[in-house]
Structure 1
Amino acid sequence: MNLSELQANQVELPIWQALAPLREALSRAHTSLLVAPPGAGKSTIVPLALLDEAWVQGRKILVLEPRRLAARALAWRMASLSGQPLGELVGLRTRDDTQVGPSTRIEILTEALLTRRIQHAPELEDVAVVIFDEFHERSLHADLGLALVRDVQAGLRDDLRVLLMSATLEQDNLAARLDASVVQTQGRSYPVEVRYAKPRSTRLDEGVATAVRAALKEHPGDILVFLPGEAEIRAVARKLDALGPGIVVHALYGRLPRAAQQAAIAPAGDAERKIVLATAVAESSITIAGVRVVVDAGLMRVPVYDPNAGFSHLVTRRVSRDAADQRAGRAGRTAPGVCVRLWSSEEVLVAHREPAIRHEDLSSLALNVAAWGSEPQWLEAPPEGPWAQAMEVLQALDLSDARGRINARGRKLAGWHAHPRIGAMLLAARDDAERAMACDLAALLESDERAGTLVDIHQRWLAWRRGGAGASQIKALDRDSRRWRKRVGVGNAIAERDAGLLLAHGFVDRIALQRQPGSAQYQLANGRGARLPDNDPLRAQRMLVVADLDGQREARIRLAAALDDEAFETAFAAHISWRDSVHFNPASGQVECQRERVFQRLVLSRQPLPKPDVSVVCEALVAGLMDKGFGQLDWSGPAARMRARIACLQGEGWPTMDDASLRATLDQWLGPWLFGLRSVAEITPAKLADALWAWLSAEQQRRVREQAPDAVSLPSGRQVKLDYAAEDGPVLAVRMQDMYGQDASPQVAGRPVLLHLLSPARRPLAVTRDLASFWRNAWPEVRKQMRGRYPKHEWPERPWEAPAPAALNVLDQRRS
């Protein structure tokens, strides 16, 4: 069918106005944007309209759809318009369905398949244009596909065209970043009235069911209801179970069997009204015949990467404004319609949904980029942190080297369209029985029921295979397991094998070792801590493989399997090694010297290291003291005195004596004195004092001796030590008679010391920094009191001129 025949057989659609400017844009620019409202006909008409363009030259047009349901619906619709069976002019490729023949000129395919196609044949020799339909959804596959196609344009095919289409593109931003032309058409086929009706009930199923019943009474036509997920669809379906004759309720979501999907899309029977309960799969690219009313719960479920789990978890969020507009447009595809939004008109929605590259797991993306061999031309580069984590996962699973270059295992896995963790587990299976078990585990890992009460994944497997799980859960797990089995080429036989060992190959960094026998606490191979729930039976296991964790500081284990020690040792023998461990233990204050058998950051066993390298021990002691052991040093006695004496002379060129400075420079002043030592206990105060003294230059030592002496020579001939540790220090505590014959206070670092003047019985009499002032002002009164109390001692009127009594020296000699 040619374009004029198509136009004659179609209702008047807004897209017809855009075809001429679109042809002109694609003839001039190799990248173009087409913005057209829902129902404009862009998905079905544009590919057929471009077939006869001169630049196409008989080559293919690839049309990418974000979902298999949309791809199938679009392929059947376009084949019908072309007047030829599917597989002739119009073909279809999805993960589980290929209908393409030698005469196929237009291929409708899911976004993920484009990556596989480019990896296999980068030139895209038989392709004239790649059309990204509904590009506003910005899935990981769409962003990667566009980046790879831009690489192909830049390096291999400068004649290759790219067309991005959507009703809600950020066209100005995209056009600037892609240097693209923009073609836009306004208007829709039929008007849609938007109403807001916030439900009174806080229960989603009750509020939606009430709105649907009201719409049945107030508006003609079939009803399309947008809900966030399968569970909500089932709940609302139960509420609508008894609507009366002629009312048919259908579900529509991605994992629904194809026949049920087709029934939901097909026109209702005579004298019937249809209610379709759908997820976001119905937002775009498909037309559900007869829909005149949309009821929008205003919620969407998006995958958000959880680094603790190692996978993306589905999170329910408020719908974005562009998605809400897409949904409303479904009511005006074939006739005027109504959209009932179940939230307040005053609520402000975010304008656009966030690109998946900002919040989803990037491991599969990283694997595909590694397989490509170079960084592609991103529309938006992946965030640095999550990208680095994704690269670490590839390396941990032995899919790439430390520089991110893919190896043979990684290249094989890249063609499987599987998450790297699941793919690594499937690769490790040695026979059909293990492959069957691995497929079952993959289904459990991807299940929406992962957050169950059973932590042990093997027990979950037994509950599933023995019929102990819920019927809907069993049905979903059976379906997903069959899909994995088909992919790896294994039959449907059920085989019980070692779940822990299989999981270990996909979660190498999550192999866990119990900290103490019987404890709930484990250490993971990546260094993190995790704990089992209290009284969980898995506490009897020394080793686990952890598949899912929560985000707590010490993460709680949500899904795991026991790992047999011997099986682990055999399977991972090449990754287990011996190392000499010389490290400081803050608890004991000692350097511990051991030989350790290690797997990543797990220590499997230890034994004493008989002859450790003395220099290595010294380095470990220094590092430990600088890290956590500094406070264990004994700064009493000579160490404190030396530290205080040096501190008196602070200034340019002098080492500072505060804790932070000494700790930061410990390797310089104390390190050389630790050779041959293993513990803090061996570092005596005298050794600390010697180390500090040796750290000074000869000139600094001279100045300390002269200006901050250890002791002061008194007129009496005695040597009295200064108290540098006193609060107002340095302090010199002497009997008053010791200072006879001296008129000025002794000095330290050019500053008078604080004199504590004592009685003959060594009781405090006075405190002063100015001895001369004391003699002339306070002394007369003190002398009067002392003469009466100690009449046998000399109390001269002018003590600064009197000699120190010789009897003091004799008394001191006797005491010494």
Structure 2
Amino acid sequence: MTHTFPVDTVIETLFTALGEHGGAILEAPTGAGKSTRVPLRLLDTHWAKSGRVLMLEPRRVAARSVATFMASQLHEKPGKTIGYRTRTDTRVSEETRLEVVTEGVLTRMLLADPELNGISLVIFDEFHERSLQGDLGLALISETREAFRGDLGLLVMSATLDCGPLTERLGLPLVKSEGRSFPVEVRYAPAGGHQDWQQQVTGQILSIESEAKVVLVFLPGQSAIRELSRLLSRSALESDVTELHGGLSLDRQQQVINRAAGGESLVILSTNVAETSLTIENVTHVIDSGFQREPVYDPVRHRTRLVTRRISEASARQRAGRAGRLGPGVCIRCWSEDEVMARHNTPEICRVGLDQLVLDLARWGCLDPSQMQWLDHPPEAAWCSAVGRLTQQGALDQSGAITAHGEAIASMGVEPSLAMLVLEGKKSGLAKTAARIAALLNERDILAGHGADIRSRLQLLDQKPERFNALLQEASRLVPGAGKHCEDWSEGLAALLVKAMPMQLARRRSNDGRRYQMADGPGVILPQGDALEGQEWLVILDTDGKPKDALVRLALPVPADRIPSLLTTLTTAKEWVGWDAVRHRVIGRRQVLLGKIELHSLPLQTLNTEQVAIALLDGVRQEGLASLPWTPRLKQWQARVARLADLEDGWPDVRDETLRATLETWLLPYLSGMRAMTDLKSVALDNALTALLDYDQQRHLDQLLPEMVSIPTGRKVALDYTGERVVLAVKLQELFGMRSLPELAGGRVFITAHLLTPAGRPAAITDDLTRFWTENYQAVRKDLRGRYPKHPWPEDPLNAEATAWTKKRAGL
């Protein structure tokens, strides 16, 4: 440990803060050395001598890599002084004093032992990534420190997070370390025209090969890495191309890191695992696609899935910084400099499903998340949705407490929906098959782009298990032995999936072999030309996550002749009365349903009067208020009342959106005996609307905003209240002698006069009649005398007699 790092200058300050306050927050940019220097120095302190130090990493690859590097600094292998523990791999012993674990492992440790006996200090590394398990772990640790272990140390380390809110929430001192980096030239190179972004990235790699040593290319996922590797294999690239992602074994990851450190010319195609978690030496150039794969809740499948999204400004800075670790570097961003990006990534707790969080907190004994300390509180809607699902599935009781079934689900370490699949598999004699399917759904698709049939994946695992060691290890973790051999699943697979996932059954829509209606509501669509096209029934296991017409990625066909026996306990019968948008009338049916899928139905001969009225209101909402018998007079009434509601309290809100939302209040009593849209033509709409006003309001309406006003000819003219201003449209000659326009609502509303020619065309507009006569009339008169010579155009309009006639007819 002869090299010095920026964090070395603040380690003593940090340890002093830890000793005085029992905890601290360290803010240090990537490359400062916090992930390795700080833990190694802690080995010489009382924290490591009085117990074990636990350090959390958000990713398995980072946990293994960091632990392996630190062990090498002590000339040891992982498992002695320094060990690591992930969901699938453990290297610890009685000698271990510093244990690097993934965040989910900490949750399981806390649920098994809330006091964390034997642990003296917990370190949260790379906390700026704000994973759901990281947020949960910090909330649980905070409660443990408050309730059980005042002596338990806490150190939170972050690279890019604004630590102000974290410092305030935890009440711990903040120690900052400056980073060490060289200038990085940032270039922008967006894809042009019809160019694919992957082709653009390929072109940028080729353009800088001659000047680069190690090129680090950030891509959103393994499928993008495979595609770019294919494109580069067809190019004239001379540098070796290698991959770096979480799906590689530790040995293969270390080989890539060693090759870079050894000075080879390399192009490393990496996911964001290289953004902050791993140290890669000799990187001179970074090419950033600008994309990442991140977990997002899929309401169609009721589980969290990975989707490709644009990175944040903070991630872009992290990635660019990789090019300036050892000297000046270059970062090429494959997007426009003008593009607006989010400042930070949205915390997982705000964008993923919360089923596992609800179960974990229920095991902890917390039924109300507001009782815990959070940096960002779980969204109420997502929390309530998860509680509802888990209660329906028997994982929680009616009070929200966890059941024995829920304990079994929570202990499996996978999403609850996948855990329930495995538990159903154990009951059905297909435990190993269920474990393999759960592993397939929890990892990346092993046959992406080769059809949606899940059976092809299971067959591939049977035929070539050596290609999928990591996936089969995960299956064996769920069910021992599932990775080595499997049951004959050909007969019982459909029954297993239907029992485990009944609401994921989907039925083909009529006349379309690719479109399906799912039992829980959404419509989905098979890829063009998929071998499953035309199957009447499918169990949908995975989609691309779109809220409408999601593309099916994994599914299983269910023979139609098996459906009746499989659905005997899953269907419900109910009577439905509703609006038929095709026939424009209320209809009733007795339905046999599987969720939202109608299996059978018969028309109801007799309909409940109240249900008919409610369904008719639904029809009005669908077809719009225009389906009611509005007259011009009623439209004016609506505009008059709306104008008074803006002036005075107490008047009803009669805008279209409010009337549409409150049909039950004002229209329902007038629908007796009606059933179809044609019946609505006779509804007493004027009575229904007028009833919204009390007696005094009806009287005051005519006083304050009358329908008509009298003009000098003695004629009454209707006012138009429907526009922005109240309009009096009248022939100019009919206002001769009129000095001012009437005022409305006690002088609070003014009239605008649209003065018309004898032919009824616009001649002038004014809201000040006296000013018009004195300033504008002569010019208008000059024009109109020439166009309408048979009509009177007196020089003094204020003293002339109002008329609508010609001079001859008026006797002039």
Give the TM-score of the pair, scaled to structure 1: 0.68
Q: Is the CA contact (8 Å cut-off) linking 1:287 and 1:330 kept in structure 2?
A: no
Q: Write the distance in 1 (CA, Å) between the matches of 2:583 and 2:471.
A: 54
Q: Write the distance in 2 (CA, Å) between the matches of 1:584 and 1:493.
A: 54
Change (3 A) 1:631 1:353: closer
Aligned partner of 1:35 among 27, 49, 69: 27
Aligned partner of 1:192 among 156, 173, 182: 182
Q: Write the distance in 1 (CA, Å) between the matches of 2:7 and 2:654.
A: 80
Q: Which residue of the partner structure matches residue 480 of structure 2?
A: 489
Q: Which residue of the partner structure matches residue 706 of structure 2?
A: none
In the TM superposition, residue 454 of structure 1 has moved relative to its aligned partner by 5.9
Give SS of 2:11's match.
helix
Q: Structure 2 regions of 5+ residues with no counterpart?
A: 192-198, 700-812
Check if 1:278 corresponds to 2:270. Answer: yes
Moved more, 122-131 or 679-688: 679-688
Give 1 or 2 for the bigger CA radius of gyration. 1
Check if 1:528 corresponds to 2:522. Answer: yes
Alignment deviations for residues 605-654 of structure 1 (CA, whole Å, 9 cap, x no partner): 33466777x56556556656765699999989xxx9xx99x99xx99999
Give SS of 1:596's match.
strand
Q: Write the distance in 2 (CA, Å) between the matches of 1:273 and 1:583.
A: 69
Q: Is the CA contact (8 Å cut-off) linking 2:498 and 2:566 kept in structure 1?
A: no
Q: Which residue of the partner structure matches residue 211 of structure 1?
A: 208
Moved more, 417-426 or 585-594: 585-594
- Percent identical pairs in the alignment equals 29
Alignment deviations for residues 383-426 of structure 1 (CA, whole Å, 9 cap, x no partner): 44554554455456554457754433332222222123322222
Structure 1 counterpart of 2:537, which letter?
M
Structure 1 counterpart of 2:471, which letter?
D
Check if 1:562 corresponds to 2:557. Answer: yes
In the TM superposition, residue 655 of structure 1 has moved relative to its aligned partner by 13
Check if 1:113 corresponds to 2:105. Answer: yes
Q: Which residue of the partner structure matches residue 328 of structure 1?
A: 321
Change (3 A) 1:678 1:564: farther
Map 1:279-428 → 2, pairs under 5 A: 279-288=271-280, 291-299=281-289, 300-305=291-296, 306-308=298-300, 310-318=303-311, 320-321=313-314, 324-325=317-318, 328-329=321-322, 332=325, 336-343=326-333, 347=337, 351-374=343-366, 375=369, 376-391=372-387, 393-395=389-391, 397-400=393-396, 405-428=401-424
In the TM superposition, residue 181 of structure 1 has moved relative to its aligned partner by 0.6
Structure 1 counterpart of 2:245, which letter?
Y
Give SS of 1:23's match.
helix
In the TM superposition, residue 123 of structure 1 has moved relative to its aligned partner by 1.8
Q: Write the distance in 2 (CA, Å) between the matches of 1:242 and 1:531.
A: 36
Alignment deviations for residues 202-229 of structure 1 (CA, whole Å, 9 cap, x no partner): 531232244243224xxxxx66554443
Change (3 A) 1:430 1:109: closer
Q: Write the distance in 2 (CA, Å) between the matches of 1:634 and 1:170.
A: 56
Q: Is the CA contact (8 Å cut-off) linking 2:79 and 2:91 kept in structure 1?
A: yes
Q: Which residue of the partner structure matches residue 164 of structure 1?
A: 156
Alignment deviations for residues 321-351 of structure 1 (CA, whole Å, 9 cap, x no partner): 455346635763xxx4343211399937765
In the TM superposition, residue 24 of structure 1 has moved relative to its aligned partner by 1.8
Structure 1 counterpart of 2:376, which letter?
E
Q: Is the CA contact (8 Å cut-off) linking 1:594 and 1:607 kept in structure 2?
A: yes
In the TM superposition, residue 439 of structure 1 has moved relative to its aligned partner by 3.9
Map 1:6-45 → 2, pairs under 5 A: 9-45=1-37
Q: Write the distance in 2 (CA, Å) between the matches of 1:199 and 1:670.
A: 60
Structure 1 counterpart of 2:413, which letter?
H
In the TM superposition, residue 446 of structure 1 has moved relative to its aligned partner by 4.6
Change (3 A) 1:606 1:147: same
Aligned partner of 1:599 among 594, 603, 627: 594
Moved more, 254-263 or 277-286: 277-286
Q: Structure 1 regions of 5+ residues with no counterpart?
A: 1-8, 217-221, 704-816
In the TM superposition, residue 58 of structure 1 has moved relative to its aligned partner by 1.1
Paired positions, count: 673
Alignment deviations for residues 133-162 of structure 1 (CA, whole Å, 9 cap, x no partner): 121222222122112212222333333222
Moved more, 74-83 or 234-243: 234-243
Structure 2 counterpart of 1:577, which letter?
T
Q: Is the CA contact (8 Å cut-off) linking 2:189 and 2:336 kept in structure 1?
A: no
Q: Which residue of the partner structure matches residue 434 of structure 2?
A: 438
Change (3 A) 1:463 1:454: farther
Structure 2 counterpart of 1:378, which letter?
W
Change (3 A) 1:373 1:544: farther
Q: Which residue of the partner structure matches residue 255 of structure 2?
A: 263
Change (3 A) 1:197 1:116: same
Q: Write the distance in 2 (CA, Å) between the matches of 1:38 and 1:688.
A: 73
Alignment deviations for residues 252-285 of structure 1 (CA, whole Å, 9 cap, x no partner): 2211123212222336798966664433323335
Q: Write the distance in 2 (CA, Å) between the matches of 1:52 and 1:132.
A: 19
Give SS of 1:328's match.
helix
Q: Is the CA contact (8 Å cut-off) linking 1:635 and 1:685 kept in structure 2?
A: yes
In the TM superposition, residue 124 of structure 1 has moved relative to its aligned partner by 1.4
In the TM superposition, residue 163 of structure 1 has moved relative to its aligned partner by 0.9
Map 1:556-705 → 2, pairs under 5 A: 556-564=551-559, 570=565, 573-583=568-578, 585=580, 587-588=582-583, 592-607=587-602, 679-680=675-676
Give the TM-score of the pair, scaled to structure 2: 0.68
Q: Write the distance in 2 (CA, Å) between the matches of 1:682 and 1:227.
A: 59
Q: Is the CA contact (8 Å cut-off) linking 1:75 and 1:90 kept in structure 2?
A: yes
Give SS of 2:576's match.
strand
Change (3 A) 1:61 1:47: same
Change (3 A) 1:228 1:431: same
Q: Write the distance in 2 (CA, Å) between the matches of 1:346 and 1:554.
A: 31
Q: Is the CA contact (8 Å cut-off) linking 1:501 and 1:568 kept in structure 2?
A: no
CA RMSD of aligned residues (A): 5.2
Give SS of 1:429's match.
helix
Q: Write the distance in 2 (CA, Å) between the matches of 1:211 and 1:696.
A: 74
Q: Which residue of the partner structure matches residue 125 of structure 1?
A: 117
Q: Is the CA contact (8 Å cut-off) linking 1:31 and 1:161 kept in structure 2?
A: yes
Change (3 A) 1:271 1:554: closer
Q: Write the distance in 2 (CA, Å) between the matches of 1:661 and 1:315.
A: 40
Q: Write the distance in 2 (CA, Å) between the matches of 1:344 and 1:687.
A: 62
Alignment deviations for residues 719-769 of structure 1 (CA, whole Å, 9 cap, x no partner): xxxxxxxxxxxxxxxxxxxxxxxxxxxxxxxxxxxxxxxxxxxxxxxxxxx
Check if 1:543 corresponds to 2:533. Answer: no
In the TM superposition, residue 63 of structure 1 has moved relative to its aligned partner by 0.4
In the TM superposition, residue 379 of structure 1 has moved relative to its aligned partner by 1.0
Check if 1:137 corresponds to 2:129. Answer: yes
Give SS of 1:176's match.
helix
In the TM superposition, residue 48 of structure 1 has moved relative to its aligned partner by 3.8
Structure 1 counterpart of 2:321, which letter?
A
In the TM superposition, residue 114 of structure 1 has moved relative to its aligned partner by 0.8
Q: Write the distance in 1 (CA, Å) between the matches of 2:224 and 2:429.
A: 36
Q: Is the CA contact (8 Å cut-off) linking 2:537 and 2:557 kept in structure 1?
A: yes
Change (3 A) 1:271 1:325: closer
Q: Is the CA contact (8 Å cut-off) linking 1:442 and 1:481 kept in structure 2?
A: no
Q: Which residue of the partner structure matches residue 72 of structure 1?
A: 64
Q: Write the distance in 1 (CA, Å) between the matches of 2:245 and 2:553.
A: 27
Q: Is the CA contact (8 Å cut-off) linking 1:200 and 1:207 kept in structure 2?
A: no
